[in-house]
Amino acid sequence: MSSTTFSLGREAADDGSFRRQESQFRRWVANDSEFPPEAGRYHLYVARACPWAHRTIIARRLMGLEDAIGLSFLDPVRDERGWAFTGGEYVDSINGFAFLSEAYLATDPAYDARVSVPVLWDKESGVIVSNESADILRMLGTVFGPLASHAIELYPERLRAEIDALNHRIYDNVNNAVYKAGFSRRQDVYEREVLGLFEMFDELDDRLADRRFLFGANPVETDWRLFTTLLRFDAVYQIHFKCSLRKLIEYEHLWPYARDLYQWPGVATTVDFDEIRRHYYLTHPMINPSRLVALAPAASFDAPHGRESLG
């Protein structure tokens, strides 16, 4: 692949902040829609390196939807052409696309915004159903439930209002905040985002002092939305995006909590730390012009977490 030339483009605001583009394809799989939940009909295009895609990979694994929904991985290192299928394990087994942009243009020939993962593809109609990770995660945990081989609740009905509220805060102050810090172009904007991020970390650390997961004894979708950022924090965001006030390993509860989620059955198999590090350090030359890839932190997600007794 040629040299990486990632650009913020329209997501770089005039005030020096980063404003993430809205997902353009937000249709839903539903029993009464043109996209009913049918085994074998849908396919996920994902990259293990991307935290937004990673949440959908985890949900597919936890729900046991591997036989119902296909999966293709994209190369973690992008050039100016965007996410690509470069051969080997990075092959589109459904359409034979070389670039993910082909799926976007097949759905909308006039599409000219940034191409992102994950993508939920409908093989029957040959279009993208959704490129919004939050929506795909929700669909995997709800409407695809009858096709799942594991009976778990990622979005339990009794907690839905609380889950929605905390999802929103974690998105603004953690998931997207690391990007808003890393891609900011003014000192005051950067400092505001970093300070807000660590205020939220402190709040979450306190919340996890007496409960194993964010809503009790079992992880729900909010935990997995938070996890994919925590997983990448010390290896990437703390260095690459200058979220430097503290490391995850310095938190009394957040760090064991992250290890607990990593060690949850099936989750570790969805993680590729090498792809994560190469993706960020090689794809953002305006942040890392040398394109040197930072060595992995010494702390291990496999270390005992000691949180089994919490309710």
Give the tokens for residue 51.
């935290």
Establish if 52 belongs to a structural domain.
yes
Establish if 152 belongs to a structural domain.
no
Give me the CATH number covering residue 263: 1.20.1050.10
Establish if 3 belongs to a structural domain.
no
Establish if 294 belongs to a structural domain.
no
Judgement on whether residues 198 and 124 belong to the same structural domain of the protein: no
**Residue 243 falls in the annotated catalytic set:** no
pLDDT tens per residue across span 83-114 = 999 999 999 999 999 999 999 999 999 998 88
**Residue 179 falls in the annotated catalytic set:** yes
Establish if 304 belongs to a structural domain.
no
Judgement on whether residues 102 and 76 belong to the same structural domain of the protein: yes
Residue 66's domain comprises: 20-147
Establish if 116 belongs to a structural domain.
yes
Report d(CA 249, CA 310) in Å as an integer: 20
Last residue of a domain, one of 147, 173, 205: 147
Establish if 226 belongs to a structural domain.
yes
Number of Cα atoms under 13 Å in the Cβ half of residue 6: 20
Give me the CATH number covering residue 123: 3.40.30.10
Last residue of a domain, one of 87, 117, 147: 147
For the chain, the domain total comes to: 2
Q: Which of the residues 42, 45, 50, 243 is marked catalytic?
A: 50
Last residue of a domain, one of 147, 171, 195: 147
Threshold 0.85, pTM exceeds: yes
Count helices and strands (H / E) in the chain: 9, 4
Residue type, position 120, single letter: L
Establish if 57 belongs to a structural domain.
yes
pLDDT tens per residue across span 255-282 = 999 999 999 999 999 999 999 999 999 9
Confidence of residue 21 (pLDDT cuts 50, 70, 90): low
Judgement on whether residues 175 and 262 belong to the same structural domain of the protein: yes
Judgement on whether residues 67 and 161 belong to the same structural domain of the protein: no
Judgement on whether residues 60 and 114 belong to the same structural domain of the protein: yes
Judgement on whether residues 191 and 136 belong to the same structural domain of the protein: no
Residue 261 is predicted with a pLDDT of: 99
Report d(CA 238, CA 269) in Å as an integer: 24
Q: Which of the residues 42, 45, 104, 179 is marked catalytic?
A: 179
